Amino acid sequence: MSIVSRTKTDDPNTAHGDVTQGGIFKYEPACWEHREFDAEDSYGYPFRQCSHCGSIHPADLLQYLKQGARIHWADFKYGWPHKIYVDGIPSPRAGHPHKQYTYCGRLSPDDDPAEWEQYETGKFDSNTGKPELSYCKLTGIYPNPAETPTKFYSIHLKDADDATFTELAEFIAKRTGVRFKKDAEGKIMYGPEISPPVPQS
């Protein structure tokens, strides 16, 4: 699966700050974009995504929550609620045939090279600068799922306008038990919701 087109939008994306400096790789400034994937994509993504982290746009998340999407937190491995998993978004490619592959970084002596296809991973060797290669093998063709799973990074609450922030924070509080607020300076804070989470179907 690979991205075949990216269409940038004019929506502000300030959550990540300057991502163009430092490290081995130089990134373009973060933006919101609509992504189109090749025919190997099993989902289809009918919403805006952050070019840097892949998060769904906060306004789009709010729209789908109103339509019945479900959310739950990833583990708090960074010590705070940083990522929400989102289910229940209808996929525009539901039911379309999809090729399923298995992947491996290198072939073993028991593997038949004729059964494997070599491809570039999109990463580069830090010593040589050459593209890293991996292998994939077709294992079957199946109908695409009915829903597109995605994620929302709570840092992108910074990119929500006041009305969207208020509504989205209320959904998150009622569905997950974590409430986000803004202080007098506009900084985002979080804490436990007093009321128990509302069950999600």
Domains of the chain, residue spans: 3-94+145-192, 97-143
Angle between helix 58-66 and 162-176 (nearest 10) = 50
The model's pTM is: 0.77
Other Cβ atoms less than 10 A from the Cβ of 9: the count is 12
Q: In percent, how much of the chain has pLDDT > 70?
A: 90
Q: What is the predicted pLDDT for the residue at 177?
A: 92
- Name the helix (H) or strand (E) containing 71: strand 70-73
- Mind listing the pLDDT tens digit for each residue in 140-176? 888 988 999 999 999 999 999 999 999 999 999 999 9
Tokens of 86: 């989102």
What percent helix, strand, coil does the chain show, rounded to 5?
A: 15, 35, 50
- Mind listing the pLDDT tens digit for each residue in 78-127? 888 999 999 999 998 888 888 788 888 788 888 888 888 888 877 788 88
Instruction: Give the N- to C-terminal CA distance of the chain in Å, as an integer.
Output: 31
